[in-house]
Amino acid sequence: MKPHGFDKAALNSLLGDRKVMDQVRDVLSEDRNRGLMEEAKLSEDTVRAIVEAPQVGHGEFSGEEAIVLAIGRPPLLIKKGTWESASVEVINNRLNAARPALEKAIASVARLEVPNYKSLPYIGTAWMIAEDVMITNRHVVEEFTYRQANTIRFLSSPFGEVYRPQVDFREEYESKVVFEVPIREVIYLESRAPGLPDLAFVRVARHEKLPPPIDLDDRFPVFQDNVAAIGYPAADAGRNDRLVMEKLFKGIYEVKRLSPGWISGVDMQAGLLTHDCTTLGGSSGSALMSLNSGKAVGLHFAGEYRIGNYAVAATVVRNRLRNLATGRVSIPVGPSEGAVGFGEERPKPPAEDLRDRTGYDPAFLGERVDLPGLSPALQKEFAVAKGSQNGLLNYLHFSIAMHRSRRMAMYTVCNIDGTNEFGIKRTGRDPWVFDPRVDEKHQIGHSLYVDTNLQRGHLVRRLDPCWGSSRDVAKQAEMDTFFFSNCTPQHENFNPKTWLSLEEYVLQNAWKKDLKVTGFTGPILRTTDKKFRGVKIPEEYWKIIVILREDTGQLSATAYVVSQTDWMNDLEFVYGEFQTYQIPIKSIEEKTGLSFGHLRPFDPLDMIEARVVRPIKKPEDIRI
């Protein structure tokens, strides 16, 4: 769910700023602006309809809002360290009240350039965050770098010459002054895993005239706080209406601008903001400044035309910077629900400590859901757990069947109870450990993941079994998800956002009963899977979600597969994106050798040809 204001059009956000809109009406009604209206083929009635209709929906205008936006949210040119005046006095008043802090920040914002790279004048925006450290977006830094093991290196030209990125603090309109400083290294590059902020830190060469860092605001901003973005908008017609863009920027791009606006949406839990300041592609990495405190409240990283612009909250930036200063991070692989970083081993517990784990409960939903049957080939590969009556590795609220030669799970099955869940936060490094009930030679440990692009991926999600009679029970269930039996190798660019939202969607839809779900998950183990360091890496994963429908009182069982469409031969390169599909359960059976015959009568796709798949772009695409 998007936070408040995230789905509003930029025009609607502006129309809500009544102080500005009152003066916009006056400006548009003055004789000196009639020429501007005629140029845009606007009648006074059309302008009045725009400025007096705050509930108008986006999509009802073609380009006429450019006039209003140019006045109400103007991208002001910066010359000699300060900005040009706006045509609306209330905007000037807001900016002037924060002038000392804004002019100080303007000096600390630079254009990030990579000379001779793709004939581009620059890549994005960066700003001082510490003595010789600047912050920008991850996607900006990724443009001119590559990851080698656990190090970030600069790309080279086709002729073998290493590109040398730099920042220029003085790229202003009608200015011939330059102040270029080389970027020495990337000291932090956030992972692409879902839910992580789009940020990076780079170290620049020390210089006696290097501007000071911009202070970060300790306060999380609120809806409609006044802000201004400082950055370098570039012509970006591919994602914006060209006519609107030309009227706003008058053909002047690639120089420093200050764009006033306000906060149009907040999501404290995700650490995200939206704002309605006018930005373009080159604005990536802009400083989002509070006009109240004079400090940075966010790092601009993206925007959607006529919808809103997105920023990482300063509180998130401060946390990353603090970890960097204390040496807790370097070039990290950030934590996520689907794929996790390097982690550290904890002492392997004795098997006796796990004897009380009852594992998966087949009667959990009220209607029995049995374990899947194994084909003869899988029966031969089944690694029986010591001391287990059913041969499975039983944990709190979930169980795992291990494959001997592939050294990973055949399948996992988990009881998920949304009525008794606890939000257990991830702390520190992930404590992966071998399970003592299965020989270590049948489990994949840390050695596979050292200095590679592979991450340890949960099969049973960390939070799925985190429920019970107390927080201590939920915490123990979370720790149980960190046995290597529950781990499979996944590429760091694996993006399981839709995949991981399936249970949440099923828990929230109208057919749920008691907020309970049974989830089966596993890798699709093919003989043709590519081998790396002696381990065959699965290309696909499957999931079956079972619920008790409230409308019929019967089970519903739906199956999904996540497939990576374009695998590369070398793990040093980026794999293709994963796609999620809903498929018949019988297709899972054909792909895995598992038997779910008892669930097929409850599969809405069971009568569909097995080769037919339903692409899942959003949870609402699911057929239940």
306-345 pLDDT tens trace = 556 889 999 999 988 887 765 544 333 322 233 333 344 4
Containing 319, the helix (H) or strand (E) segment is: helix 314-325
* Fold classified for 10-102+215-314: Thrombin, subunit H (2.40.10)
Pairing relationship of beta strands 398-403 and 393-394 according to DSSP bridges: antiparallel
Task: Give me the count of residues in the chain.
Answer: 624
Residues 6+ apart with CB under 8 A from 472: none
Among 10-24, 202-216, 535-549, 571-585, the range of highest mean pLDDT: 202-216
| Three state DSSP letters for 377-396 | HHHHHEECCCCCCCCCEECC
Question: At 99, which amino acid appears?
Answer: R
Domain range summary for the chain, segments of one domain joined by +: 10-102+215-314, 109-204, 357-422+443-460+485-621
Give the pLDDT score at 108: 97
- Integer Cα distance of 401 and 253 in angstroms: 59
- Integer Cα distance of 599 and 607 in angstroms: 13
Q: What is the pLDDT of residues 81-95, one digit of tens each?
A: 999 998 888 889 999
Q: What is the pLDDT of residues 513-541, one digit of tens each?
A: 567 889 999 999 999 888 888 889 888 88
Give the pLDDT score at 26: 67
- Integer Cα distance of 471 and 401 in angstroms: 27
- Give the three-state DSSP class for 26: helix
Same CATH topology for 109-204 and 357-422+443-460+485-621? no
Give the pLDDT score at 31: 44
What separation, in Å, do the N-terminal and C-terminal C-alpha atoms of the chain show?
Answer: 21
Give the pLDDT score at 184: 92
Per mean pLDDT, which range of 42-56, 189-203, 552-566 is the poorest? 42-56
Torsion sign across C-alpha atoms 404, 407, 411, 412: positive
Give the pLDDT score at 425: 67
Give the pLDDT score at 264: 84
The CATH number, out of the four listed (3.40.50.2300, 3.40.570.10, 1.10.1740.10, 3.50.30.30), of the domain defined by the range 357-422+443-460+485-621: 3.40.570.10
The alpha carbon of residue 431 and the mean position of all alpha carbons in its chain are separated, in whole angstroms, by: 24
Answer whether 519's CB lies under 8 Å from 543's CB. yes
Question: Would the pLDDT of 568 be above 70?
Answer: no
- Give the three-state DSSP class for 434: coil
Question: Would the pLDDT of 349 be above 60?
Answer: yes
Confidence of residue 571 (pLDDT cuts 50, 70, 90): very low
With pLDDT > 90 as the criterion, what percentage of the chain qualifies? Answer: 36
Confidence of residue 70 (pLDDT cuts 50, 70, 90): low
pTM attached to this predicted model: 0.50
Q: What is the pLDDT of residues 95-120, one digit of tens each?
A: 999 999 999 999 999 999 999 887 77
The whole-number average pLDDT for the span 399-409 is 96
Confidence of residue 569 (pLDDT cuts 50, 70, 90): very low
- Give the three-state DSSP class for 51: helix
Give the pLDDT score at 236: 64
- Give the three-state DSSP class for 243: helix
Give the pLDDT score at 169: 95
Among 324-338, 343-357, 436-450, the range of highest mean pLDDT: 436-450
With pLDDT > 70 as the criterion, what percentage of the chain qualifies? Answer: 71
Angle in degrees, 0-180, between the axes of helices 18-29 and 89-97, rounded to the nearest 10: 140
Thinking of the domain 109-204, which architecture would CATH place it in?
Beta Barrel (2.40)
Give the pLDDT score at 152: 85
Confidence of residue 574 (pLDDT cuts 50, 70, 90): very low
Among 143-157, 473-487, 579-593, the range of highest mean pLDDT: 473-487
Answer whether 300's CB lies under 8 Å from 309's CB. yes
